[in-house]
Structure 1
């Protein structure tokens, strides 16, 4: 296994993962900004960091190499030299609303005065107006009115490294994300893949890049096997983006089946992995709230059509049978969040009880606060490693959301 990205399942032993340690960005905003930044609360940073360190240490103790987005980004920029640092900053400023003008110039001068790591950290953390000895005169968007405190918004969602990009086989998608608050995030991953010595010129496939209008996010992308991908049709991922990535995979990879699963389009169930995850060869978590009468849900199994780029779609509603057929299983175990209790399942799904991270077949990392779901997983034979979760969970994402697997062992 020589590729720096190699993920052919959701459950193969996790060898390398990318995280982002929460920093000032997770509390560098006011309640008035929460909706804009896609947060429901403001985490208490020291505890969030302690919890995240506990998560990272848990992965290391189980044989996983942990890399950090913020460090990889700075190393990639330094590897490209001053020319890359300048072009990266120009792109980031453009995507922050400053393609040119006095504010652009002041921000660029300030950020270039910092070391590369400090520049990356500052961009992620946000740039306040009072940090620059400068009175902007060219503010043009509603977000930049005189009483708005930031020139460049913080990126508090960055510790959910799952979403800006997704590892699939020996490649990845680098995603165009749905909301403006997160769209800049995937520029870091694009830079890492192109310029970091660990990833650059290693033959990695980019199944879909970030330069699209249609949206897709990694929390909706689940690698069920070395030839089957599941993707949520969700608040954050559109059907046409799914068809696009399916065409690319069918043309240039071993993947020959994509299962599109429609979930409710709302904030509580923003991604497929908030309601459905694979945790063993024949076991899945599922939030009962996504299943209709009789346990049905809309799915479309996409396979290659006869002509180049053509797709065949098979609409079905029996998720369990669709999964059994796709994975060649005689039976499988769908384990309900909160043991199916309408109150407990709703509460624990909100706190990411369905967002489990498999680090080996039948071994999962979960939030400790979801004790009903965790105990049920144990009763179903799973090894459950629970991690601290009082502040991290305020961001509405669990262990799977907080991790981007880069290398898994093949099954």
Structure 2
């Protein structure tokens, strides 16, 4: 591999991917505070880990290198100065209520025997009951955490996004997820594997949000980015300017407006690319779908609303005679709604025409096979409770070019 990151398609044979194995952060989910942490239910950690391990096994059986985010973050803390800077940044963004709590948590983190335990603890969060400085303190609310856990982190697709040979360190939509991007920032700045030659295409300190689940690399020239609940059009414009000014080779960005509903959350929950000319799609988004094309225009960009259908646009911009849109659950309104909620269209393509999916989406998986797609099924009854599928749980670092 000549460069550490190489992602110029959604379908090129996957060689290296980053995941996060769910940890104790899931055991800090509580029914009264699920909305705050963007969850609808509480996964059973032991089974979620088993499911995630099977996901990893499927990838490794295909010869794919699987890197754990928690390992990379640990390895990025290469000296004490970097470690102290990491702790400072983490604590400054943790919304801790008092100086006393901050000081005790700092001591707690600094005393952990290994950097890996430090990383795990920052992901897990800190319960108030762990702090001696709070013994006997009366609070106006009964919120149990001095620092919130990060239960969404096993969806590694979102905090950063690899594009070409570069990376977008994202500004997350919800406050509860913004600390997740600290890990990506340290990995791509300090980890020996990445620190030398990774262009930064977007920064976590930007004013408007963008998340990786909305970013699809359709070809060496074309990106698709969802305008969604979690990604602003302004962010897409800013990212487009940076990409066009770089040497990444992309010359067109399709902004696909999927609306602001939680059930559609990101573009990859309703639309993914699975072969040169095949895509999965949730039928609910096809009606009145708005698509904007962003291109370079002199020293700035041009934004044009398209009049053609998504199907025709994809065929045109990908230089194909036609494309096939495979509707979730075959388009049946009841089955499609159920299977889209369970990430039936959130497919991870590991090679052209070869995907990883949840086994629970039986109708959609049957339709994929009928379309000639090779399907690898993994269990996901617990993982899906976080509202994400195989694509959400994986961030490609290297794909072979096609």
State the TM bucket, normalised to the shorter chain: over 0.9
Stretches of structure 2 that go unaligned for 5 or more consecutive residues are none
**Contact in 2 for aligned 1:301/1:315 (Cα 8 Å):** yes
Confirm whether residue 379 of structure 1 aligns to residue 370 of structure 2: yes
CA gap of 1:88–1:291, structure 2 versus 1, over 3 A, is same
Confirm whether residue 134 of structure 1 aligns to residue 115 of structure 2: no
**Shift of the alpha carbon at 1:98?**
3.9
Paired position in structure 2 for 1:103: 101
**Shift of the alpha carbon at 1:316?**
2.7
Q: Which of the residues 235, 252, 256 maps onto 1:241? A: 235
**Shift of the alpha carbon at 1:338?**
0.7
Confirm whether residue 193 of structure 1 aligns to residue 182 of structure 2: no
Paired position in structure 2 for 1:120: 119
CA gap of 1:325–1:187, structure 2 versus 1, over 3 A, is same
Q: Which of the residues 348, 357, 370 maps onto 1:357? A: 348
Q: Deviations over 1:335-385 (max 9, x none)?
A: 000110000000000000000000000000000000100000000000000
CA gap of 1:299–1:110, structure 2 versus 1, over 3 A, is same
Q: Deviations over 1:93-118 (max 9, x none)?
A: 11112497222111101111112111
Confirm whether residue 255 of structure 1 aligns to residue 256 of structure 2: no
**Contact in 1 for aligned 2:168/2:203 (Cα 8 Å):** yes
- Worse-matched range after superposition: 163-172 or 98-107: 98-107
**Shift of the alpha carbon at 1:311?**
2.4
Paired position in structure 2 for 1:220: 214
In 1, the alpha carbon distance for the partners of 2:102 and 2:141 equals: 17
Q: TM-score, normalised by structure 2?
A: 0.97
CA gap of 1:311–1:22, structure 2 versus 1, over 3 A, is same
CA gap of 1:93–1:187, structure 2 versus 1, over 3 A, is same
CA gap of 1:175–1:137, structure 2 versus 1, over 3 A, is farther
**Shift of the alpha carbon at 1:146?**
4.5
**Shift of the alpha carbon at 1:181?**
1.1
CA gap of 1:236–1:357, structure 2 versus 1, over 3 A, is same
Confirm whether residue 171 of structure 1 aligns to residue 163 of structure 2: no
Paired position in structure 1 for 2:296: 304
CA gap of 1:102–1:304, structure 2 versus 1, over 3 A, is same
In 2, the alpha carbon distance for the partners of 1:112 and 1:354 equals: 43
Q: How many residues are matched?
A: 400
Q: Deviations over 1:37-94 (max 9, x none)?
A: 00000000110000000000000001100000011101101x1x11111111111111
- Worse-matched range after superposition: 310-319 or 43-52: 310-319
**Shift of the alpha carbon at 1:128?**
0.6
CA gap of 1:4–1:321, structure 2 versus 1, over 3 A, is same
Task: Look up the SS of the partner of 1:355 in the other structure.
Answer: coil
In 2, the alpha carbon distance for the partners of 1:225 and 1:269 equals: 24
Q: Which of the residues 195, 204, 221 maps onto 1:210? A: 204
Q: Deviations over 1:234-254 (max 9, x none)?
A: 000000000000001111121
**Shift of the alpha carbon at 1:27?**
2.4
In 1, the alpha carbon distance for the partners of 2:319 and 2:395 equals: 27
In 1, the alpha carbon distance for the partners of 2:134 and 2:43 equals: 31
In 1, the alpha carbon distance for the partners of 2:2 and 2:241 equals: 26
Q: Deviations over 1:169-216 (max 9, x none)?
A: 001100000001101001100000011111111x21111111111000
Q: Which of the residues 264, 281, 285 maps onto 1:286? A: 281
Q: TM-score, normalised by structure 1?
A: 0.95
In 2, the alpha carbon distance for the partners of 1:174 and 1:109 equals: 29
